[in-house]
Structure 1
Amino acid sequence: MKQLSNEAKVGGLIVVTAVLAIVFAWIIGIQSPFKETIEFYVTYNFAGGIEVGSPVRVSGIKVGKVESIEFFISPSQTTIKEPGSAEDTRTGDRDVIPLRLKLSIRKDAAKGVKKDSRFYVNLAGIIGERYIEVTPGSKGTKHIQENETVAGVDPPRIDQLISQSFDLAGKIKEVIEQNKADFARSIELLFKLSENLNKTLNWVDKSPVFKTDASKLIENLIAITSDVRSMSAKARSPEGEKTLKLLYDLLYRLEPLDQRAIRNFFQKEGLKVHFF
């Protein structure tokens, strides 16, 4: 009996220890008593694979998680957003909003979550887990409050993109079929135009006239360039500068002369002049 009593004590101690460990793990994982958190709600029309327990990040840093997911809530439960903030999901023709996610984040990180913050559904890597990415709000905007409900930004839906691409391809095919003759004629005209252009280029390349004229034109351009270079070199020489100065002085002296003064000068010299 004494041995049995010792075994019972050991077994009871093990059971109590296991229960305490489970309770402690539950408290740490679920309630997080050592970290102060704030809880609020974010609504989505499409959550893109978010699950309970998915991380919540602010500026790329994990600060919380998704506590719960509710389906088909009333639009009146969504806070009306201020101008410039996240999209308001309330519409007049909608009775319910598909999803509402309950988020919990640390209070120190909640200081950056404001009325104009954006709540995106993001993907860690190519095949990584989904998480909620929160962008900090602007300075001077009110902070988000406990149990407040705001609107998130829906992620793009691959199925809709594929469906829209198929619709676009179908419309393009329909346009081509309806204007098949016009497309064929346009292609034929482009083909003929390219043929004529090739023939013209070949004729120009083989024509001796173009070759001779082109060579003469190049020679004339070279000669003109040489003459211009020679004239500019002479103009920069001392003789050229002296000549330019003389021309400038002559024009400066002739500028105040008028028609009457020139006629009087020639009459004094015994010359008869006539100005048109």
Structure 2
Amino acid sequence: MEQQRKEFWVGTLVLFSVGLLLVFAWLLGFVQPLGKRIHLSVFYQFAGGVEVGAPVRVSGVKVGKVEKIEFLSSPASENVAGTSVKVLIGLDSQVRNLIRQNSKFYINIAGIIGERYLEVTPGSEDSPVLENGSEVRGMDPPRVDQLLSQGYGVFGRVQEFLERNENTMQELLTSVHSLMTDTNSILKKLDRKKVSQLIENLNTVSANVAVLSQQLRSPKSSKFIDQLADLVDRAHEIDKPALQKFLQEEGVRARIF
């Protein structure tokens, strides 16, 4: 009897430990007993240091993990051409309708020196939903080493240019300094009252021009201008000898050029 009691407690302890282990595994995302997972293969040319077990997030929320990473032993298919790494990810089925053909798969980093994770942006509603087992092309993360190398190259060329044109740069700086000095000297010599008066006069002229322009746009002014133009056109049509004869008959002696 005593032996059976010990076996019972040992079995209970083992079952409790297994259950506790399953709970921890579920919380950590290693198992998903309450739903079916969907799997996608994401292809990259540069994986950016992501590792197996790294979280997968959709809109910043963890919904899965990276399950496997492998190099391609054969050329990739046409839709993922130019890649060398395949990342297999598992996602909760509840986000199935968010993962569509126009979704983007980025490799991000949490903080400055945090862990790498895979971020998925939800697709638009008019794009088809990705089926389980689909292959998609991921967005390669920027390579810091290449950026630094390019930066060093640019700095080197700038330094070489400055060394080669040292005299020219010195002359340019001297000219700029002289120009600024002369400008300051001219500004100091100017009478501020005269400058202020000049600005006021310009404002007055500008206001008068604006008023005149507004008056010329009035209906009365437009009518006057039209009448004046019509009168000038009629004057061109008058015969000069006839006009001279008319004036002489009226007792006006005139010479018309």
TM-score for the superposition, normalised by structure 1: 0.67
Matched with 1:47 is: 47
The 1:56–1:26 alpha-carbon spacing in structure 2 relative to 1, beyond 3 Å, is closer
The CA distance in 1 between the partners of 2:42 and 2:68, in whole Å, is 11
Q: Displacement, 1:62?
A: 3.0
Partner of 2:173: 187
2:1 is the counterpart of 1:8 = no
Deviations 1:240-269 (A, max 9, x none): x9xxx9999899888756345543432222
Aligned match of 1:205: 190
1:89 maps to 82
- In the TM superposition, 1:117-266 aligns within 5 A as 117-126=103-112, 128-138=114-124, 141-201=127-187, 204-205=189-190, 214=194, 218=198, 221=201, 256=234, 258=238, 259=240, 262-266=243-247
Segments of 5+ residues of structure 1 without an aligned counterpart are: 82-86, 91-96, 236-240
Structure 1 residue 176 displacement after superposition: 1.1
The residue type paired with residue 163 of structure 2 is E
Query: RMSD in angstroms over aligned alpha carbons?
Result: 4.1
Specify the alignment match of 1:59 in structure 2. Answer: 59
Compared CA separation, residues 265 and 106, structure 1 to 2 (3 A): same
The corresponding residue for 1:272 is: 253
- Opposite residue 256 of structure 2, the aligned amino acid is F
Identical columns (%): 32
Instruction: Tell me the CA shift for residue 10 of structure 1.
Output: 1.9
2:78 corresponds in structure 1 to: 80
CA pair 260-138 structure 1, distance change in 2 beyond 3 A: farther
State how far apart, in whole Å, the 2-side matches of 1:246 and 1:64 are: 83
Displacement of 1:128: 4.8
Measured in 2, the distance between the counterparts of 1:141 and 1:251 equals: 67
Aligned residues: 240
> Is there any run of 5+ residues in structure 2 with no aligned partner, and where?
none
Matched, 1:33 2:33: yes
Residues 79 and 148 in structure 1, CA contact (< 8 A), matched pair in contact too: no
Taking the aligned partners of 2:34 and 2:59, their CA distance within structure 1 comes to 23
TM-superposed CA distance for 1:153, in Å, is 1.0
- Residues 183 and 89 (structure 1), Cα distance of their counterparts in 2 relative to 1, 3 Å cut: same
- Say if 1:273 and 1:157 are closer, same or farther in 2 by CA, change over 3 A: same
- One-letter amino acid of the counterpart of residue 171, structure 1: R
CA gap 1:137/1:260 in 2 versus in 1, 3 angstroms? farther
1:104 aligns to what SS in structure 2?
A: strand
CA displacement, residues 197-218 of structure 1 (integer Å, 9 cap, x when unaligned): 445555x438xxx99xx58x85
How far apart, in 1, do the equivalents of 2:47 and 2:125 lie? Answer: 28
Equivalent residue letter for 2:82 = T
